[in-house]
């Protein structure tokens, strides 16, 4: 049996790795991901300048998932440029940068820089941070996304992906798919957290996080049906040479199996990595293998996208 996946010549030994965000800000945190069975190391979304992020408390989890308003805390893009060769030499697996500049010119500058880092395998451009006060999520504006993707594609010499927000309306999926098909990135990641949710502590009669009046991005079980729907819809609408990476509520090998059935080439784990720690990757891969054995599949290609619809 093989679980390997290839996205524009970048080889992953299996389809399960970490999502951008949780515990991937510092080199120490990235080393933990490196030592785990995560099939790649995806670094925290970065900006031109280092950022402390939003005031705490800014992360909370309950039995169904999480809410966060981290506010893009990161070390600044140059640090991730320094971490990359260290991570690559130590762990010999794909290293992926996530880019979330505050404006087009920042994204262009950062992606130009990352294109010069030989050891870097891929870039994921974040179109969907929900937690910057006063800043809309660019992925909800098809024209702004079009302009941004065009600008960065011109300077990017690495495989490039787009981290998308969740969409809920077929018209919005179609508008965004048109833009994405025009620029043919190597992959899209569906989905970022469900933006601007609210979790309330009933006893305290209070929000559970501090920034933005308690509103924040929702992750975990809360997201899985929306994430599956986004993977499926983009699998239907995008050119077949654009890979889809699933993200949202994955915590078992059966979840991974479902995302691949819906059309995903690989998956990322966020909330559940924070809950369980680095053993989540190995466990999910073992469970996926078990499921595939039961179904007599020997590679992911045999069932990717083959979801049956009740007639
Ligand atoms: O740092 C964050 O607040 C954050 C980001 Br950049 C993102 O893309 N998604 C999210 O849920 N939180």
According to DSSP, residue 55 is labeled: P
Mutate to test the pocket of ligand 1, among 55, 80, 101, 193 (most ligand atoms within 8 A of CB): 193
Cα-to-centroid distance, 69 and ligand 1 (Å): 7
Full-prediction pTM beyond 0.85? Answer: yes
Instruction: Report pLDDT for 213.
Output: 98
Q: Are 109 and 145 in contact (CB under 8 A)?
A: no
Shortest-distance atom of ligand 1 to CA 58? 3
Catalytic site residue from 129, 190, 247, 284: 129
User: Residues with beta carbon inside 6 Å of ligand 1?
Assistant: 21, 45, 68-72, 100, 126, 128-131, 192-193, 217
Which of 298, 280, 281 is CA-nearest to residue 289? 298
Instruction: Report pLDDT for 16.
Output: 99
Instruction: Report pLDDT for 30.
Output: 99
Mutate to test the pocket of ligand 1, among 45, 47, 132, 212 (most ligand atoms within 8 A of CB): 45
Told to judge if 129 belongs to the known catalytic residues of this protein, a careful annotator would answer yes
| C-beta atoms surrounding 26 within 10 Å | 14
Shortest-distance atom of ligand 1 to CA 69? 3
Phi-psi region at 200: left, alpha or beta (left = phi > 0; alpha = psi -120 to 50):
beta
Q: What is the CATH number of the domain that holds 239?
A: 3.20.20.70
Residue 190 domain flag: yes
Q: How many angstroms separate the CA atoms of 109 and 155, rounded? A: 9
Mutate to test the pocket of ligand 1, among 46, 54, 56, 68 (most ligand atoms within 8 A of CB): 68
Instruction: Report pLDDT for 75.
Output: 98
Q: Let me know if 239 is exposed, middle or buried by CB neighbors in 10 A (0-12, 13-18, 19+).
A: exposed
Residue 160 domain flag: yes
Cα-to-centroid distance, 209 and ligand 1 (Å): 14
Which of 198, 223, 219 is CA-nearest to residue 210? 198
| C-beta atoms surrounding 139 within 10 Å | 27
Q: How many angstroms separate the CA atoms of 279 and 27, rounded? A: 19
Which of 45, 220, 222, 234 is CA-nearest to residue 127? 45
Residue 297 domain flag: yes
Residue 187 has φ and ψ, to the nearest 5°, of: -155, 160
Residue 168 domain flag: yes
Shortest-distance atom of ligand 1 to CA 45? 6
Residue 75 domain flag: yes
Shortest-distance atom of ligand 1 to CA 217? 11
Phi-psi region at 192: left, alpha or beta (left = phi > 0; alpha = psi -120 to 50):
beta
Q: Which domain holds residue 37?
A: 5-53+71-196+221-302
10-residue mean pLDDT series, the chain (311 residues) = 98 98 98 99 98 98 98 98 98 98 97 98 97 93 98 97 98 98 98 98 98 98 98 99 98 99 99 98 98 98 98 96
| Domain count within the chain | 1
Residue 213 domain flag: no
Going from the C-alpha of 20 to that of each of 123, 144, 187, 261, the distances in angstroms are: 11, 22, 15, 23
Residue 211 domain flag: no
Residue 278 domain flag: yes
Cα-to-centroid distance, 18 and ligand 1 (Å): 14
């Amino acid at each position: 049996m093989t679980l390997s996946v290839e996205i524009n010549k970048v080889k992953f030994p299996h389809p399960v790795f970490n999502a951008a965000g949780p515990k991937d800000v510092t080199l120490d945190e990235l080393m933990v991901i490196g030592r785990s069975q995560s099939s790649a190391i995806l670094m925290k979304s970065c900006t031109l300048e280092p950022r402390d992020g939003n005031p705490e408390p800014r992360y909370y989890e309950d039995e169904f998932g999480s809410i966060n308003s981290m506010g893009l805390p990161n070390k600044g893009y140059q640090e991730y440029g320094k971490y990359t060769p260290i991570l690559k030499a130590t762990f010999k697996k794909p290293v992926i940068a996530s880019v979330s500049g505050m404006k087009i010119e920042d994204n262009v500058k950062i992606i130009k820089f990352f294109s010069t880092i030989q050891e870097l395998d891929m870039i994921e451009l974040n179109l969907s941070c929900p937690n910057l006060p006063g800043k809309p999520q660019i992925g909800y504006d098809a024209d702004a996304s079009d302009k941004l993707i065009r600008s960065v594609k011109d300077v990017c010499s690495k495989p490039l992906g787009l981290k998308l927000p969740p969409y809920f309306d077929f018209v919005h999926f179609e508008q965004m798919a048109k833009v994405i098909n025009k620029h043919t990135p190597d992959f899209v990641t569906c989905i970022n957290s469900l933006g601007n949710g609210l979790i309330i502590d009933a006893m305290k009669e209070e929000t559970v996080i501090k920034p933005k009046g308690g509103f924040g991005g929702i992750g975990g079980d809360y997201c899985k049906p929306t994430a599956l729907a986004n993977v499926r819809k983009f699998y239907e609408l995008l050119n077949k040479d654009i890979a889809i990476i699933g993200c949202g509520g994955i915590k078992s090998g059966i979840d991974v199996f479902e995302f691949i059935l819906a059309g995903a080439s690989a998956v990322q784990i966020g909330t559940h990595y924070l809950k369980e720690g680095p053993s989540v990757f190995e466990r999910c891969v073992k469970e996926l293998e078990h499921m595939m054995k039961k179904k007599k599949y020997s590679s992911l290609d045999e069932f990717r996208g083959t979801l049956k619809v009740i007639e």
